[in-house]
Every structure is written in structure tokens, then in C-alpha cells.
Amino acid sequence: MDSMRIIEVKQSIFADNDEDANKLRSRLKEQKTFLLNMMSSPGSGKTTTLVRTINALSDRLRIGVMEADIDSDVDAWTIAEKTSAKTIQLHTGGMCHLDADMTRQGLKELGTEEIDLAVLENVGNLVCPAEFDTGASKNVMILSVPEGHDKPLKYPLIFTVCDALIINKIDVLPYFDFDMDLVREYAKRRNPKLKIFPICAKTGEGMEAWCDWLYQEVMEWNK
Amino acid sequence: MHELGIVVHITKTLKGIAKENQLKEIASVSLELGEVSGVIPEILTDCWNYYRKKFPLIEEAELKFETLPAVTYCEDCEKTYPTVQYGKKCPHCGSDHTYLIAGNECNIKEIEAC
């Protein structure tokens, strides 16, 4: 038997994922497909926000959706029933997040040739999805009012990696001790460039500003 | 459960290294984990022990850990301090204009293999 030897590696565990993510990002850029990675806690209103967003933009953009969950296909059915977007369901097999290679496989299944905007609805979780770059053009997260304004302090990484923060369920603000000024301050402290959009996905309030921003970003990317 | 995802990525990296160096068997993998990397060694080991059995290359490989201290830098008084003990607020001047400079690492340091 050969003798054991020490091999120095000195490499971040995330290095291979970062490399996959960068490859995927440049391929998507070349073929003019914008990938939006949407992250949040479970129950913050990702799917409802997505339905409204798709319906606001579907006359201008060809949209595809990948719903990622540990199990079930309820979200994919909701999107398929309420919008005209092409939708597929991804199962992560117990994993709490998607990585770049899983995203690549999902996009292959979805078919990106005829898609201007591909949306990845990541697994509901504020911790793990933030650690794995999916290859997205932009990252967005949703924080809903009932979750509380202290989340940027408790889950700093996700607020750091996101380009935009949607604050959903503003219709219930009168019933919660949610301080809108404080959440802005906490989030900006983590990420001064963060765009913030207070919305109510149920009533449609604030959706225009969010959809305009997204549309501009897609046009810029796909130029 | 992100520890399982991390194990999958460690394995991918190891497969690449094994191919490059024509390795048949890995006896140990040494990791460097920052104090605030959010990775829990015990859970990582559990996931590793489940996952390594699937691949002959790492079937017998032991996971070893080294902890790297977390250090935060204060922009206002330009001093550093231990993150775990004091968090976001600088213990020297009370400012919260601080950022982490070390302690978030999640590295494969070295492997023992043939």
C-alpha cells in the first residue's frame, strides 16, 4: 500500500460553488436571460408576491419560474394556475438551499432559450440560501411585517448578499410593533446599497415601484 | 441542515483534488472553521459520517477541525476586538460602525491521502 502524504489544499469550501455560479452567470448573460434568486422565511409571501409580479410584467417579459422546496408541488401549482409563466418544481431532497449546480440543472429543465426573466423561488430559510451563490443576476429577499424589524440584526448575511429587500404585508402594520424606520436603518447598516420596497402582495400596494425596479434590471442585463 | 450541503461541496472539491493528484484513498480532511462561520462541527461530522460511505475515496476519511478566532474591526477607533465576546458594538469606544475581518472562514486546509 502506498504511504499517506499530506496535501495542502487551502481552499474555501464554497470555492467550487462560487466557480459554478460565475460560469452560470456569464452563460445566462450571453444568452440574455436574467435570473432572480428570491429568498425569505417560510410564509413571508414569496409565492403571492411572485404571482403579482409575473402578472404585472408578463406582457413585457417572457417569464419562467422554478419553485424550490424540500417537498410538495403546491407552489408550482399556484403559479401555474394564477399566471401564464412557465413553471417547474424542484425538490432539494432534504437540502435547505439550492446551490449553483442544482440551479443549472433546474434551468436546463425549464429551458431558458425563450425566457427573459427566470425566477428561482429558493427554499424558505434565512440562513443557508445566503451562503450559496446560485449564479443569479440579482438576489432579492422578502421580509414580512409579522417577522419583526430586528431580522437584519439576527440574520446579517442574507441582508448583505441581497440587492433588494421587499417588506411585505404592510397592510398589517397597525397590528404589529414593526418599526419601518428601524428596519431600514438596520438593513442599510448591513448593506448601504440595498434597495427597499415596502409592499402588500395581497392588495397590490407598492408593487409598481418593485416591478419597475425589476423590469429596469432585466432590461439592463439583457441589453 | 446546511451542514449536509457543505459536506456535498467538500466531497466535490476532494474528488477534484484526487483526480489531479491521482489519489485513491483519503485518510483525513482538516478543516478550518471560523468561530462565526455558522457551521457546527458536531452536525458536520454526523453528515460526513452518513455521506462518506457513498464514496470509496472518502469512505475511511476522518474529519478534523481547527477553529479560527473571530475578530471585528471598529471604523471609529480603528481597534479590533473579539467578536464572540462583544458582538457588533465596539468595547473600546461603544461605536457600532464595525465589521468582521476574520472568523467567517470555512476552508479545507489539508488532506492526508495516498
Query: What beta strand segments (E) does chain A contain?
Result: 5-12, 34-40, 63-69, 86-91, 117-121, 138-144, 164-168, 195-198
To test the contact with chain B by mutation, choose from A4, A7, A12, A13 the residue with the greatest count of B C-beta atoms within 10 A, namely: A13
Q: What's the pLDDT at A117?
A: 98
Q: What is the CATH number of the domain that holds B19?
A: 3.30.2320.80
In a domain, A188, yes or no: yes
In a domain, B45, yes or no: yes
pLDDT in tens, A139-162: 999 999 999 999 998 888 899 999
In a domain, B77, yes or no: no
- Closest by Cβ to A14, choosing from B1, B21, B106: B106
pLDDT in tens, A173-220: 999 999 999 999 999 988 999 999 999 999 999 999 999 999 999 999
Q: What is the CATH number of the domain that holds A193?
A: 3.40.50.300
- Closest by Cβ to B21, choosing from A7, A14, A97: A7
pLDDT in tens, B57-84: 999 999 999 999 999 999 999 999 999 9
Judge whether B79 is closer than 8 Å to chain A, CB to CB.
no
The model's confidence at residue A2, banded by pLDDT at 50, 70 and 90, is low
- Closest by Cβ to B1, choosing from A15, A95, A132: A95
In a domain, A2, yes or no: no
Cα distance between residue A44 and residue A132, in whole Å: 21
Q: How far is CA A119 from the centre of its chain?
A: 7
pLDDT in tens, A11-38: 999 998 999 999 999 999 999 999 999 9
Q: Domain of residue A114: give its range.
A: 15-221
In a domain, B93, yes or no: no
For residue A146, the SS3 value is: helix
What does the DSSP 8-state code read for residue B57?
G
Q: Domain of residue B38: give its range.
A: 2-69+103-113
In a domain, B39, yes or no: yes
Provide ipTM, 2 decimals. Answer: 0.83
Domain count for chain B: 1
In a domain, A194, yes or no: yes
User: How far A129 CA lies from chain B's nearest CA (Å)?
Assistant: 9
In a domain, B85, yes or no: no
In a domain, B62, yes or no: yes
Domain count for chain A: 1
In a domain, A65, yes or no: yes
Q: What percent of chain A has pLDDT over 70?
A: 99
Q: Are A167 and A195 in contact (CB under 8 A)?
A: no
